[in-house]
Amino acid sequence: LRMKRYKKIFRIMALVLMLALFVTGCGKDFDASGYTQALLDLTFQGDTSRARIYMEDATENSLMRQYQQSIDNFVAANITNEIEMNETKTAQFADLVSKIFATMRYDVGKAEKTGKREYEVPVSIQPSDVFVNFQQSLSQDSIKITQKIKEGGYEGTTEEVTQQVLNDIVNHAYELLDAAYQDTAYGEEETVILHVQADKNHEYSVDEDDMNSLVLKILRLDEIQG
């Protein structure tokens, strides 16, 4: 059984699947800061109250489904990548990630209008160390599991040993992520500029690259190699 196959199973990738929140508005009356606050609150807090103000046709249930799908996608792409797990374990990871996201610190500043339907919105963030510490713990744990394999700590057929290893990886990863969450610390405050603009249909949205950059920085995923 080659452990290096499993070293790659749990990894944090610089890949962010964010929520999409489009709203139609009149240029001079559009509140770009309020819209940005609504998007960030929905993304990190699962708070639909502001989002519903900007999306009158959206129901609370539809926004929550969008939020939950975003969490599930993040877990699948960034944490449980390549491992098939039962619904219970997957739900546990999703619930924990939701709690982690809810601890993100951000403050939306006053928007500056830079064009007819274009705005720059400053967002002050304090990056969280949760996923950086989680990744470090995973690396240390993979060394221990590798050693356990070499010492014959897993017994049975190849299939049985494989399943035992996978079970340990999954269970340890949850415990390590929870420990990192419990010991969360934050870095120095920094400002990210989000560009908000309308398309030809007057539908406003945050620039995707800007939003990716904010999420990567606030979660410090940009410091972690995939």
pLDDT tens across the length of the chain (226 residues): 444 444 444 555 544 555 666 666 654 578 999 999 999 999 999 999 988 888 777 788 988 998 998 898 888 888 877 677 888 889 999 999 999 999 999 999 999 999 988 999 999 999 999 999 999 998 898 889 888 888 889 888 888 888 888 888 888 999 999 999 999 999 999 999 999 998 888 888 899 889 989 999 999 988 885 5
What span, in angstroms and rounded, lies between the C-alpha atoms of 94 and 72? 6
60 — phi, psi (to 5°)?
-60, -40
183 — phi, psi (to 5°)?
-105, 25
Which single residue is written with the structure tokens 């908000």?
196
Q: Chain-centre distance of CA 22, in angstroms?
A: 20
Tell me the pTM.
Answer: 0.86
Residues 6 or more apart whose Cβ sits within 8 Å of residue 112: 119, 120, 121
Q: What is the pLDDT of residue 73?
A: 86
Q: What is the pLDDT of residue 21?
A: 67
Q: What is the pLDDT of residue 1?
A: 42
Q: What Å distances lie between residue 32 and 22, 43, 57, CA to CA? A: 12, 16, 19
- Write out the two tokens for 89: 């374990």
**Please, what's the b/e burial string for 131-153 (b: 16 or more CB within 10 A of its CB; e: otherwise)?**
bbbbbebbeebbeebbeebeeee
Do residues 14 and 222 lie in contact, with contact meaning Cβ atoms separated by under 8 Å?
yes
What span, in angstroms and rounded, lies between the C-alpha atoms of 8 and 140? 13
From the list 53, 105, 101, 79, the residue with the least C-alpha distance to 170 is: 79
